[in-house]
Structure formats: C-alpha cells, structure tokens
Chain A
Amino acid sequence: MSANMVAVLYLLSALLFIFALRGLSHPESSRLGNIFGIVGMVIAIITTLMFKSVLSYAEIGAAIIIGGAIGTFIALRIEMTALPQLVAAFHSLVGIAAVFVAAAAFYDPASFGIGNFGSIGTSSLVEMSIGTFIGAITFSGSILAFGKLQGTVSGKPIVFKFQHTINALILLFIVALIVMFVINQSPTIFWSIVIVSIILGFLVVIPIGGADMPVVVSMLNSYSGWAACGIGFTLSNNLLIITGALVGASGAILSYIMSKGMNRSIISVVLGGFGGEQAASSSSDNSDKVVKQGNAEDAAYIMKNADSVIIVPGYGMAVAQAQHALREMGDILKKEGINVRYAIHPVAGRMPGHMNVLLAEANVPYEEVLELDEINHDFPMTEVSFVIGANDVTNPAAKTDETSPIYGMPILDVEKSQTVLFVKRSMATGYSGVDNELFYRDNTTMLFGDAKKMCEDIVKSLG
C-alpha cells in the first residue's frame, strides 16, 4: 500500500472518530456515533496491518484476541454504578500502553522509520520522552484513582507537608532526565523517566479525594489523550495526533465543567487537599438544633398530595443502587398525575454524567432528567424536592456563608421548594465536610435510612 493510500485511510479513520464524538450531541444520534468510532478503529488497524514491515500476523492476532476477550468480558459484566472505576482502570491501560509503544520505538526505531538504536533524531527523542512521561503519569494516577473509587485505597485526600514543592522538584528532575536522555540515549535513563513519572502520577492524585473525583477522572481522560498525541508525534502519525488531541480536549473540557460545578479552579483541584479535615465554618454550632424526622409513610403522603416533585439524586443513590426503586416511585407518582422530574448537578456522582447513566439504566426517560441550568428556576414553583444521596450540591451555605469551603459553588435551589424531603443514612456531613443547614429548616423533613430501602418503603406506602 502506498504512503498516500495509508494517509488517506488514516484520515478517514480520524474523521470517523470526530463523527463518533459529534454523534453524542443527542441520545438519538449517539449509537450511530459509536458505530462510526468502531469502523474508524477497524480501518486504522487493518491499514496498519497492511504495512510491508508487519508480518507476524499470528502473534498480533493472538494479542488482539486475548485483549479483546478480556475487554469484552469486563465491559459486559461491569455494574453501571462501578463505571467510574472502570473508566479509571481503562485510562491506566492507555497510559501504560503508550509507555510500551514508546519503549518499542526506542529499542527498534527502524520499524517506525525514526533512525537506528542509539542514533535517533533529537526531536523524536524529545517527543518520545514526553509521550512516555505523560503515559506513565496517566498509568499510576489512574491506578490510584481506581483504588480510591473502588474503595481499596482510602478515598480521603492525603496531604503532607511540602507536597507541592516535592512535586515541583520531581517534575524538574524529570525534565533533567529528559535532557540527559536526549543527549546520551541511554536505556537506563529511559526507564528512570518511566519510574519517576509513575511516582509523580501517584503523588499528583494522592491529595485529591471524595467529591473531587469527577475532576480527576476527567483529567486523567485528558492525559491519556495527550499521551497518545506524544506517541503520534514520535511516530509522525497524524491519526494518533488527531485522536490524541480530540481526547485531550474532551478530557480538558470535562475537567473544566466539573471544576466550574464546584466553583473551583482546576489548579486548586489539582493541588488538592479538599475536605480532609472538618472545615472550620460557622456551622459548627448546629448540635443543639433539631431536625424534623419523618418516615416513608409521611413522605408518600406528602408527595401524593403534591402537583410537582423534583428528585435530586447524588452519589448516595449510586452507592445504595437505589435507581430502580426510585424510578418505580417516580412512575407511581406520575400515574397520580404528578409532574415528576429529575435535577442533576454537574458534579453529582463520581464521573461526569454518572447520574444520567444510572437513571437511564433504570429506564427514566431522558426528557425528564434536567441539568442545573434548565431546572433551577423551577424550584420555587415546586411543592416537593426529594433529595436522595446528594448533600453538598443542595447546601444553601454555598450562596450565603462566605467562610464555607463550598461558598460560590452553584447549587440546586431545593430550599426554595415548599417541602424538602431529604433521604440520608445519618447526619454525617457530605464530602466537603460541611454541615448542611438545610437539615434544620422548617420545611425540611429528614428521612433516615438506606436510600434503596426508603424508596421501596415509599412505593409500598403509595400503593
């Protein structure tokens, strides 16, 4: 196959990837988009297999079958509530794959047309080391993010003294290593870059925890794209550069949206350390205030007599796997002629769009699921807000209390509705460690218990 033919097929593949993302602008076009993505990938793989230098089809076929079987098995079995972990794990694979490809290019540059071992061009070396560096960071950062989301590692942010200084010094050290690598092309230095970058990846994610996880997951998504880009530059492969840039941009935009959802700069999230210790805010004297408690029958009665109900789900709903019971509750209310809608905060859950997927899984029509901007002005006209598993995203202190760590964060104005029903396991604070004054308001009724059990009980009481 001629070089031009290859370039054209790679271009076609890149265009299909762009259409794959474009398809996600609407749920109806999204499945076609996914098919575009698959076709693009098949074209990219087959085109590469046609290269003159590619001969060992048996090994390549076996590797793809093994990897494909593992990937298929995992993807078919995973629970939708565990999506954030899965995505983090997948990001780590992209990262480490980038490192392996860079290593292969380093040891056998001739296969990639970038010179011979020991005499690789300077720009290739720089690109190779940058790809390796980003790939290794993505790898270890994603592993740690996976551990935090899965619960194998404490989800609490871990902060220690001189954290940022240490990270900065390590980064400088890596730059020095890259300079040395470019000069002497030594394998030892190549692997040193890998190892030190892996350490840096851990250190970057360690101070981030809890509600900041959506930002981390998006950020690592972005990194995995830049890693592919770095490899694309190394191999002078436009397909890799384009795809890497698309993914990098996508992750970066998601990170931006997520940090905006928390009114924090990406920088401050990256530097981390949010929510570790109890925040010293003015709400610490809430201990003597009383909360109004209710049970499932009360909740059923209140909602049955309402005209409109807005349900505000959060991560707690995912943890309790309450989405199906919740949808059943919503269905019964709808049959009673009640206007039931769902309000999703941008940072609800542990990854962007997490709640939307869970509600879709439970067969909630997507037209009933609205974003913060779309529904926030409707709360004053709403009789009941049903908050389930969310906390910080409803805390009015974000609007009023300048000393609060979550001050300035856009919140769902549930307190403006006539009645707030708040499903919660206990009086514990949210991930930000901030007490929620909403609990003590007159129009709030607390429903203590497991989110799933509570929804089931309400369904029983309604029926």
Chain B
Amino acid sequence: MEAHSSEVFVIGLTVFFLACIIGYYVVWSVTPALHSPLMGVTNAISSVIIVGAILAAGPIGHDISKIFGIIGLVLASINIFGGFIVTYRMLSMFKKKPKKEKKD
C-alpha cells in the first residue's frame, strides 16, 4: 500500500510554501510590543501536534505506539493550556486601563 504517493507529498509541499508566505506577512504585521505574546501563542498552536498523538493513542489495546501517543498527549496538553493561558495573562496586561488610578 503506497498511500503516501508523490502526489500527496507535492500537495503537502504546496500547502507548506503557501503557509510560509502567509506566516511571513502575518508575523511582520505583529507589533513589536507583542512579540512575547506572539511566542506564547505560536508555542500553543505548535502543539496542534496533539492531533498526531490522539491518532496514536486512539486504538484499543496497549501496544508501545499507544503509550507514546499518550505521553505525547500529556506533553502537548501542557503546552496548549500553558501556552494559551500565559498568552492570555500577557495580553490582559496590555488592556487599556481606566484613566483614574486607585490611590492619590
């Protein structure tokens, strides 16, 4: 079974280069003040690799690939939750504050 034909690869490559170009323009439009949140959010979304971990952990049974999948799941989940939450924390600091300060 040669499911992974060269055709599939070429489609992947097309997607890859187009995504790189989108990434290039989108990231240059990010304001420098938000470069730390940018790292936080990219860290969170790069854990979309969890998709692969779910597929590995999916089948019933206890073979080694399932164990790898579950480990991958835990690690990727740490990142997803951690990445989005820390980004949220950073971004809420950039919220416009009401002009009046508490103490005078």
A interface residues, Cβ below 8 angstroms from B? 13-14, 17-18, 20-22, 24-28, 30-31, 33-34, 37-38, 40-41, 44-45, 48-49, 51, 53-56, 59-60, 63-72, 74-76, 78, 80, 83, 86-87, 90-91, 93-94, 96-98, 100-101, 103-108, 111-116, 121, 123-124, 217-218, 221, 224-225, 227-229, 231-233, 235-251, 253-254, 257, 331, 344, 346, 351-354, 356-357, 360-361, 363, 365-366, 369, 371
Contact = CB atoms under 8 A, between A and B. Distances in A.
A217 B65 CA distance: 31
B39 A63 contact: no
Contacts of B64: 107-108
B42 A246 contact: yes
Given A27-B91, A93-B79, A104-B53, A247 B73 contact: no
B31 A25 contact: yes
22 contacts: A24-B30, A24-B37, A30-B37, A44-B51, A45-B51, A63-B57, A65-B77, A70-B81, A71-B82, A75-B83, A94-B75, A100-B53, A104-B57, A108-B56, A108-B59, A111-B56, A124-B4, A227-B49, A245-B20, A246-B42, A247-B46, A357-B37
B35 A60 contact: no
A403 B34 CA distance: 35
Nearest to B64: A107
B93 A357 contact: yes
Given A41-B44, A41-B45, A93 B76 contact: yes
A353 B33 contact: yes
Contacts of A229: 16
Interface string B20-42: 10111011111111111111111
Interface string B46-72: 111111111111111001111011111
Contacts of A231: 49, 52
Given A55-B60, A87-B39, A112-B55, 19 more contacts: A14-B19, A22-B26, A38-B84, A44-B48, A56-B57, A60-B58, A67-B73, A67-B75, A107-B64, A111-B55, A112-B56, A123-B4, A218-B39, A221-B42, A243-B46, A245-B16, A353-B36, A366-B94, A371-B32
Given A53-B55, A71-B79, A224 B46 contact: yes
B52 A249 contact: no
A37 B91 CA distance: 13
A231 B50 CA distance: 11
B97 A67 contact: no
A17 B46 CA distance: 10
A24 to B, nearest CB: 4
A315 B23 CA distance: 29
A402 to B, nearest CB: 29
B3 A121 contact: yes
A388 B56 CA distance: 51
Contacts of A14: 19
A55 B59 contact: yes
B100 to A, nearest CB: 12
A103 B57 CA distance: 12
Scoring B46, B64, B69, B80 by chain A CB atoms within 10 A of each residue's CB, the highest score goes to: B46
Contact of A357 (B11, B54, B90, B101): B90
Contact of B70 (A44, A51, A63): A63
B48 to A, nearest CB: 5
A310 B85 CA distance: 32
A250 B78 contact: no
A232 B14 CA distance: 13
Nearest to A221: B39
A45 B81 contact: no
A66 B53 CA distance: 15
A245 B32 CA distance: 20
A248 B24 CA distance: 10
B98 to A, nearest CB: 11
Nearest to B72: A100
A104 B37 contact: no
Given A76-B85, A254-B39, A356-B36, A105 B74 contact: no
A232 B20 CA distance: 14
A27 B96 CA distance: 9
A257 to B, nearest CB: 8
B41 A20 contact: yes
B45 A101 contact: no
